[in-house]
Amino acid sequence: MYIIVVGGGKVGYYLTKTLLNDRHEVLLIERDRDKVETYSERFGSVILQGDGAEAAVLAAAGAARADVLIAVTGEDEDNLVICQMAKHKFHIGKTIARVNNPKNELLFKKLDTDVTVSQTNYILGLIEQAIPDRAFIHLLSLRHADLAIIEATISAESPVANQTIGEIDLPVACVIAAIARGADVIVPGPDTEIMPFDEIIAVTHRTEEDELRRLLIIE
């Protein structure tokens, strides 16, 4: 597979190294001449000096025959434009953009980038899971279905404590998938009662995550 990486910061550097080790054909485009010189000594001739948003640079990189382009510069506006130029001018099948500011993720998704990688959100999520005594944790986003998997710890004061699943007025696009009670894991039915200190694993549409949070937890 021929992969073009744009942006030779830490992410771009290790990405290029990993992809080369996996025996892909890789070209890294980087603006800074000093970095290009250093990397060229390490990697050989897989580095191109230039601005990845310039069509002439992409053309010189052989963008027309590339299978994937990955834009990982530190600037969201550059990553967006690089991916759009790759898609519309060079018809690269798959574009992947790093999103530095989580606020921009929705825009990137609406504008033809095939995959967005929001490292800020990812790191926040990991830290959030590591903080003890959090009552409601977002475990995972299922990107393509726009679903999220969440974990909630039920307190004695929770509005749903001591109610059965059937009695709870769950948001439409939510399913309680499992209940962890002590060492047991229960796959609940309508008659299963939710007890204080239960840990609930639920699958929910992302638009209803907040509603589910309000239902399960007293903030």
State the residues that interact with another protein by CB under 8 A. Answer: 53-56, 59, 75-78, 80-81, 84-85, 88-89, 101, 103-104, 106-107, 110-111
CB of 168 to another protein, least distance (A): 35
CB closer to another protein out of 42 and 88? 88
User: From the CB of residue 87, how many other CB atoms can be counted at a distance below 10 Å?
Assistant: 18
CB closer to another protein out of 32 and 77? 77
CB of 146 to another protein, least distance (A): 17
Place of tokens 């109610």: 163
CB of 97 to another protein, least distance (A): 11
How far does CA 100 lie from the centroid of its chain?
11
Question: How many whole angstroms separate alpha carbon 26 and alpha carbon 15?
Answer: 10
Question: How many whole angstroms separate alpha carbon 98 and alpha carbon 106?
Answer: 13
CB closer to another protein out of 111 and 186? 111
CB closer to another protein out of 56 and 131? 56
Q: Which residue, 79, 93, 19, is CA-closest to 51?
A: 79
CB closer to another protein out of 61 and 194? 61
CB closer to another protein out of 53 and 216? 53
CB of 110 to another protein, least distance (A): 5
136: alpha, beta or left, given left = phi > 0 and alpha = psi -120 to 50?
beta
CB of 74 to another protein, least distance (A): 13
CB of 40 to another protein, least distance (A): 24
| Partners of 152 in the β-ladder | 136, 200
CB closer to another protein out of 101 and 207? 101
CB of 127 to another protein, least distance (A): 23
